[in-house]
Amino acid sequence: MNTGRPARFRHLTLAPSPQHAARLLNAQDTGASEQQLRDIAAEGLGEVYFRDGGRRAHGLEVEFTDVEHVEFDL
pLDDT value for 55: 74
Asked if the model's pLDDT at residue 56 lies above 90, the reply is no
Mean pLDDT of 59-70: 74
Whether 69 shows a pLDDT value over 90: the answer reads no
How far are the Cα atoms of 20, 29, 30, 31 from residue 62, in angstroms, in the given order? 14, 24, 24, 23
pTM tops 0.85:
no
CA dist., res. 57 & res. 9, Å (int): 19
Q: Where are the domains of the chain?
A: 18-54
The answer to whether residue 31 scores a pLDDT higher than 90 is yes
Looking at residue 49, its pLDDT comes to 79
